Structure 1
Amino acid sequence: MLRRAACLCFDVTKAQALGREVRRGMVEPAHTFLSIGKQCALLSISRSSFYYTPKGETEMNLTLMRQIDEQFLETPFFGVRQMTWHLKNEGHPVNEKRIYRLMRLMGLMPIYQKPNTSRPAKGHKIWPYLLKGLRVDRPNQVWAADITYLPMHRGFLYLVAIIDWFTRKVLAWRISNTLEADFCVEALNEATHKFGGAEITNTDQGSQFTSFAWTDQLRRIGVRISMDGKGRFLDNIFVERLWRTLKYECVYLHA
């Protein structure tokens, strides 16, 4: 029993670097000598979150999120206050608190220079931006990755894509109903398996790309990590163009 406990503690130490949903799935309700509360404590999640079942967003919120997404493509500099004014002018009785929560849920950050333009992983290393002045003249020299929000008929999903800066080819993509890092790592593994890996991979400083799971995988395959400066959306402009094309030519036309 002591040996099993030691093995579990070792696994827990590694698991704490993973996303919350992954750790939540590691809880064993029928465990013989560790209660659910103790397992949650070891995995650094609250006991209540283990039992919590997401209720989903209301139809009104889904409609607002769709309109926010469409407007954000036109005016990516709109913050919470400006987006709230826009929706009120469209006849929606909303307040800034609701719009802040929805934009945060969608992963939308307004494009302008400010101290905190993304929510990085807690205590993450600050990776430098390596593309300034770099001439990209061959495939697999630079890959870029990003995540976008996708409105669906009865909810929403998140889409991650990895694109080659030189060829503009989408190398791999995944969809997910959470913003955990796992689906990003899966896309990275597929792109690496098919195309052999890049010299540099550039992303923003979102929590998925500053997570241990993402950065550790890049280090393992020998890829140099580059991250956008704060408020520098143009650093990943090719992926931003992909999102705009995808949504206008596919998502919104075939909703």
Structure 2
Amino acid sequence: MTAMEKRELISPEYSDLSVSAQCKLVGLQRSSYYFKPKGEPILNQKIMKAIDRKFMDCPFYGVERMTDHLCSLGYHVGLKRVRRLYKIMNLRTIYPKRNLSKARATDYKYPYLLKGLKIERPNQVWQADITYIPMFRGFMYMFAIIDVYSRRIVGWSISNTMSMEWCRETLSDTIRTEGQPEIFNTDQGSQFTSPNFINPLLDIGIKISMDGKGRALDNVFIERFWRSLKQEYVYLNPPNGGMDLYRGIKAYVEFYNYRRKHTGTGYIPHDRFFEAKAS
């Protein structure tokens, strides 16, 4: 049983067992189900939504340029607040930083393996990322995994934390139901550089690939999915609560995989393209 199937067994309205007890009963980490949105003051939530919209179009906007943009919209904000919100939203500006080649000794970074690689079959390369999802009130995070060849979303989950355990559990469930990739590509976020995340993948023969810092196109396929998800669902119909968000994303992913057509797959829906090549 996948994590998503386990989530559907949880009922917050069931008074005899708490959500925590129900999660323990079905073997689901509470953080993987916890649909209560994270909160910020109302003004900060409005600012975060404005940041998210602009960042979708201009991922090269750093804190200073975003602060100037927000001031032009009438928000009286300073660099300190915008920098804090960037961190909360897990936004990483794509322009190169100073001392780009100097990594912390405690963080082992794997090389980027996709440059010049011909991707010609399903499950050859998966890419994954975490994004901020604004809601009617509050916000949550989404972790998604895409098969690069077919552009099919093979796994996803939502949570109000960005923990390594949440990402690891979602990936493990996806491997259990979809098979495993030859290469798994992420950015250099702390969740993905953790040995507790990486070692189980290495143990089963998966090669690790990581984006270079400040590289705009290294993880482009999952970034395109985020844009589609937010512009075609989240911005048009802001979810009203965590369960509403879960149901909305589930419906959108089914639409994206089974009905939405993409030029990269010859206008064949992602799931059909994946299954045709896999067979």
Give the Cα–Cα distance (whole angstroms) in 2 for the partners of residues 216 and 122 of structure 1.
18
- Structure 1's 232 and 104: CA in aligned 2 closer, same or farther, altered over 3 A? same
Which of 136, 152, 164 does residue 135 from structure 2 map onto? 152
Give the superposition deviation at 1:137: 0.4
Which of 160, 176, 179 does residue 162 from structure 2 map onto? 179
Q: Give SS of 1:149's match.
A: strand
Which of 232, 236, 245 does residue 253 from structure 1 map onto? 236
* Superposed structure 1 runs of 4+ greater than 4 Å apart: none
* TM-score when normalising by structure 2: 0.68
The unaligned stretches of length 5 or more in structure 1 are 1-54
Counterpart in the other structure of 1:108: 91
Which of 210, 214, 225 does residue 242 from structure 1 map onto? 225
Identity %: 52
Q: Is residue 94–residue 213 contact of structure 2 (8 Å, CA) maintained in 1?
A: no
Counterpart in the other structure of 2:197: 214
Q: Deviations over 1:165-215 (max 9, x none)?
A: 111110000111111111211221122011210110011001111112210
1:64-79 equivalences in 2 (<5 Å): 64-79=47-62
Instruction: Determine which structure has more spread, i.e. the larger CA radius of gyration.
Output: 1
Counterpart in the other structure of 2:20: none
Give the Cα–Cα distance (whole angstroms) in 2 for the partners of residues 160 and 126 of structure 1.
20
The unaligned stretches of length 5 or more in structure 2 are 1-37, 239-279
Give the Cα–Cα distance (whole angstroms) in 1 for the partners of residues 191 and 183 of structure 2.
17
- Matched residues, number: 199
1:1-255 equivalences in 2 (<5 Å): 56-115=39-98, 123-255=106-238
* TM-score when normalising by structure 1: 0.75
Q: Is residue 96–residue 214 contact of structure 2 (8 Å, CA) maintained in 1?
A: yes
Q: Give SS of 2:219's match.
A: helix
Q: Give SS of 1:113's match.
A: coil
Counterpart in the other structure of 2:9: none
Relative contact order: is structure 1 or structure 2 higher (C-alpha 8 Å, sep ≥ 6)? 2
Q: Deviations over 1:215-238 (max 9, x none)?
A: 022112210000011211201100
